[in-house]
A and B are shown apart, each in its own frame.
Chain A
């Protein structure tokens, strides 16, 4: 959680220094949800997130260097600089993205869960991988969400739908956009348990997550978990965040999960300040690494468009375009 917080704070600094551009959405305040769920998963379990995905990637095991380089748009980024802030992918750690449109990742998560079931029942492999899909309150008014709740419950897929309800979709309050604001209630409507949990308390989240993950692993199907949480910063670094009430912000700041857990750890002698400070060094080191990394070259432009580059077709000279040296240099006309 501390890694996540330091990382996000560093992102803000780097953005204002012109090291990264575009839309950057920071996770400050919501760390309990990410840590609470993802730290229960194994490497082969999958995570699907939204554009607010830096910390989900970090929790899943993607190195801070890889994420920072990706944000800087460097070759050493987890997606070779081609994805950016909103598309953190890692095949190694089964981080299935990072999606820019809300709700877009939920069907993908459903597919990953489907594969898990398929492996078990058709391929007869020993597979109990689960998928955790993270998304926000705004997404819960989107059709894709409901379609996937139905599918997941129908096929009893090993998936956990985690709603990070931070009450705001950019400037739209959850209460102004939703007919029934209690999202957890929508689970039972589709035949799955719906749970509400205090998303500012990592241990409470973990309790609920444990249940949901075990359920999924046992083949009992999906769970919908609504985590009441809050983002301390604006929707993105471009958001002036003037609409939200200062009192509301203060209320949640007082419930900051990091302060609470830190206090608990130090009081119970489970960690000391020095150890926790060291985590910040990881972030510093990540920035240095990203700074030193090279920018992508021209030849990378056309490289990953197709898994099989024959897909670019046959040129007038009879050769496959991908065999043309200009193509691999990135200077050919596509």
Chain B
């Protein structure tokens, strides 16, 4: 295998794996045994200084480059074994970015020139629009998705293009329109249901739990529910307790659903497309503060695997598992850690249900230390489940107890200072890593 290293002016590089065989790799036994399931875009180093976050000003620095042409047909193949991580590191460069090793025959050129830059909400829109173009059964329903263009502009322009029935402005009745989406899915459509804020979907819990999750089973497999339920959640900027909820912790027990969380424009578009194409009901968690992240994504069509985690930064000393907004706090902390001589491996778990225990396990087996950084509350969150899963499956490989940094078990206060203290901040992450690595 050849490695092509591309150095930008800011000492970032992307490795592109060129390999003789391409498309069967994904499903070959070899392909599946890939030590690092490297996925996703290069958006890891994108956001900085999120503790003083101003979403309007946030732009991923130009150092964020993407590998060339990723094609969904030729999916993703990572370099074999941990050699990839070694070869990708030069000294202790602090500007390491996520890389997606791409098996391509034709493209060997640099990353610049291909791809287009956009914001995360535009990436979601692009993904949604492409899927609506591709399949006329895909439709959108939710509050203010049509004429208003979506309260976070994810559905902007779609009603003009596809009409008022395909992009349906619903009245304010989450339970009813979620159930309506489910009934439509049972009878042949593929609705994308938007919760204006994920918290509002608490009103649709009945439909999500009983019908969305369970109906395929209770009907003996007769009816499929290919819905996508999406919306922004998470702690924003002084939005108050009710608009700052993390519904992934409430929904995770529902059997029959999949949950994914996007964090970069690249994986946002990829996950949106994958979720729409999936025959399973998928809940796609977006984050209020990440909609304005900017990244260059490929022009070619691609999808991200719903069940896989994303390697953000390979490392040796400790595994940090995170998702959504906390990814950026972790990468912020990683800069400090690298300066202090640590080498953290950062994985964006992306798939909140089910967990990608392969990527996670391989990482644990390498580093023997795990830190989970999440935005859910301490009690019963994704971190709690992940801690249990790691302890159950990889107990022998751990040199230290699994540590989980979560938000405080507190309704998110309005005051800025208090709000800052409810979520995990980079300084806490640094302290935790130092503790674990002693």
In the bound assembly, the distance between CA atoms of A303 and B136 in angstroms comes to 29
Residues facing A in B194-224 (CB within 8 A) are: 206-207, 210-211, 215-224
With a cutoff of 8 Å between Cβ atoms, the chain B residues found around residue A84 in the complex are 218
With a cutoff of 8 Å between Cβ atoms, the chain A residues found around residue B137 in the complex are 123
- Measured CB to CB, the closest approach of chain A to B27, in angstroms, equals 10
B224–A79 contact, CB under 8 A?
no
Among A238-246, A265-273, A277-285, A316-324, which stretch is in contact with chain B?
Answer: A316-324
Residues facing B in A298-317 (CB within 8 A) are: 303-308, 310-317
A83–B218 contact, CB under 8 A?
yes
With a cutoff of 8 Å between Cβ atoms, the chain B residues found around residue A79 in the complex are 218-220, 222
CB-CB nearest in chain A for B364 = A316
In the bound assembly, the distance between CA atoms of A97 and B211 in angstroms comes to 10
In the bound assembly, the distance between CA atoms of A314 and B255 in angstroms comes to 16
With a cutoff of 8 Å between Cβ atoms, the chain B residues found around residue A82 in the complex are 217-220
B211–A110 contact, CB under 8 A?
no
Residue in contact with A107 in the complex, picked from B165, B178, B226, B258, CB distance below 8 Å: B178
Given contacts A82-B220, A112-B186, contact A107 B166 (CB under 8 A): no
B182–A111 contact, CB under 8 A?
yes
Chain B interface residue bracket vs A: 35 or more
A108–B179 contact, CB under 8 A?
yes
Residue in contact with B176 in the complex, picked from A96, A151, A320, CB distance below 8 Å: A151
CB-CB nearest in chain A for B173 = A147
Residues facing B in A101-149 (CB within 8 A) are: 101, 104, 106-119, 121-123, 143-144, 147-148
In the bound assembly, the distance between CA atoms of A122 and B278 in angstroms comes to 22
Given contacts A122-B163, A313-B307, contact A307 B226 (CB under 8 A): yes
CB-CB nearest in chain A for B33 = A318
In the bound assembly, the distance between CA atoms of A83 and B217 in angstroms comes to 8
Interface assignment of A100: CB less than 8 Å from any CB of chain B: yes
Residues facing A in B31-68 (CB within 8 A) are: 32-34
With a cutoff of 8 Å between Cβ atoms, the chain A residues found around residue B110 in the complex are none
With a cutoff of 8 Å between Cβ atoms, the chain B residues found around residue A119 in the complex are 188
Residue in contact with A308 in the complex, picked from B179, B207, B280, B394, CB distance below 8 Å: B280
Interface assignment of A150: CB less than 8 Å from any CB of chain B: yes
CB-CB nearest in chain A for B136 = A123
Interface assignment of A90: CB less than 8 Å from any CB of chain B: yes
In the bound assembly, the distance between CA atoms of A121 and B34 in angstroms comes to 48
Given contacts A90-B222, A91-B222, A104-B211, contact A109 B175 (CB under 8 A): no
Residue in contact with B223 in the complex, picked from A89, A150, A315, CB distance below 8 Å: A89
Interface assignment of B21: CB less than 8 Å from any CB of chain A: no
- Measured CB to CB, the closest approach of chain A to B108, in angstroms, equals 29
A313–B178 contact, CB under 8 A?
no
A118–B139 contact, CB under 8 A?
yes
Of B32, B186, B393, most buried by chain A (CB within 10 Å of CB) is B186
Interface assignment of B93: CB less than 8 Å from any CB of chain A: no
B307–A80 contact, CB under 8 A?
no
CB-CB nearest in chain B for A70 = B220
CB-CB nearest in chain B for A114 = B184
B187–A112 contact, CB under 8 A?
yes
A101–B224 contact, CB under 8 A?
no
Interface assignment of B170: CB less than 8 Å from any CB of chain A: yes
Interface assignment of B358: CB less than 8 Å from any CB of chain A: yes
Among B119-127, B337-345, B349-357, which stretch is in contact with chain A?
Answer: B349-357
CB-CB nearest in chain B for A88 = B219
Residue in contact with B183 in the complex, picked from A83, A87, A114, A122, CB distance below 8 Å: A114
User: B353-380 interface mask toward A, CB cutoff 8 Å, 1 = contact, 0 = none?
Assistant: 1111111010000000000000000000
- Measured CB to CB, the closest approach of chain A to B202, in angstroms, equals 14
Interface assignment of B308: CB less than 8 Å from any CB of chain A: yes
Interface assignment of A77: CB less than 8 Å from any CB of chain B: yes
CB-CB nearest in chain A for B222 = A91
With a cutoff of 8 Å between Cβ atoms, the chain B residues found around residue A306 in the complex are 216, 256, 258, 279-280
A114–B280 contact, CB under 8 A?
no
B307–A320 contact, CB under 8 A?
yes
B179–A107 contact, CB under 8 A?
yes
Given contacts A83-B219, A101-B206, A112-B186, contact A313 B165 (CB under 8 A): no
Interface assignment of A154: CB less than 8 Å from any CB of chain B: yes
In the bound assembly, the distance between CA atoms of A317 and B359 in angstroms comes to 10
User: A188-218 interface mask toward B, CB cutoff 8 Å, 1 = contact, 0 = none?
Assistant: 0000000000000000000000000000000
A114–B180 contact, CB under 8 A?
yes
User: B147-188 interface mask toward A, CB cutoff 8 Å, 1 = contact, 0 = none?
Assistant: 000000000000000010110001101011111111111111
B394–A313 contact, CB under 8 A?
no
With a cutoff of 8 Å between Cβ atoms, the chain A residues found around residue B163 in the complex are 122
Interface assignment of A166: CB less than 8 Å from any CB of chain B: no
Residues facing B in A57-81 (CB within 8 A) are: 77-81
A111–B279 contact, CB under 8 A?
no
In the bound assembly, the distance between CA atoms of A84 and B181 in angstroms comes to 24
Interface assignment of B84: CB less than 8 Å from any CB of chain A: no
In the bound assembly, the distance between CA atoms of A83 and B223 in angstroms comes to 12
Residue in contact with B279 in the complex, picked from A98, A150, A154, A307, CB distance below 8 Å: A307
With a cutoff of 8 Å between Cβ atoms, the chain A residues found around residue B436 in the complex are none
In the bound assembly, the distance between CA atoms of A224 and B165 in angstroms comes to 24
B219–A97 contact, CB under 8 A?
yes
- Measured CB to CB, the closest approach of chain B to A87, in angstroms, equals 4
Interface assignment of A46: CB less than 8 Å from any CB of chain B: yes
B183–A111 contact, CB under 8 A?
yes
With a cutoff of 8 Å between Cβ atoms, the chain A residues found around residue B187 in the complex are 46, 96, 111-112, 115-116
B358–A317 contact, CB under 8 A?
yes
With a cutoff of 8 Å between Cβ atoms, the chain B residues found around residue A48 in the complex are 183
- Measured CB to CB, the closest approach of chain A to B308, in angstroms, equals 7
A118–B189 contact, CB under 8 A?
yes
With a cutoff of 8 Å between Cβ atoms, the chain B residues found around residue A143 in the complex are 175
With a cutoff of 8 Å between Cβ atoms, the chain B residues found around residue A101 in the complex are 206, 210
With a cutoff of 8 Å between Cβ atoms, the chain B residues found around residue A112 in the complex are 183-184, 186-187
B280–A314 contact, CB under 8 A?
no
CB-CB nearest in chain B for A303 = B221
With a cutoff of 8 Å between Cβ atoms, the chain B residues found around residue A90 in the complex are 222
With a cutoff of 8 Å between Cβ atoms, the chain A residues found around residue B165 in the complex are 117-118, 121-122
In the bound assembly, the distance between CA atoms of A46 and B186 in angstroms comes to 11
- Measured CB to CB, the closest approach of chain A to B281, in angstroms, equals 9
In the bound assembly, the distance between CA atoms of A101 and B210 in angstroms comes to 9
With a cutoff of 8 Å between Cβ atoms, the chain B residues found around residue A98 in the complex are 218
A108–B186 contact, CB under 8 A?
yes
With a cutoff of 8 Å between Cβ atoms, the chain B residues found around residue A96 in the complex are 183, 186-187, 223
Given contacts A91-B222, A313-B355, A313-B357, contact A304 B179 (CB under 8 A): no
In the bound assembly, the distance between CA atoms of A89 and B207 in angstroms comes to 17
- Which 6 pairs between the two chains have the least Cβ-Cβ distance? A111-B183, A107-B179, A313-B354, A147-B176, A79-B220, A80-B220
6 contacts between A and B (CB under 8 A): A87-B219, A106-B176, A115-B183, A151-B170, A304-B216, A313-B355
The chain B residues found within 8 Å of chain A, CB to CB, are 32-34, 136-137, 139, 163, 165-166, 170-171, 173, 175-189, 206-207, 210-211, 215-226, 255-256, 258, 278-280, 306-308, 351, 353-359, 361, 393-394
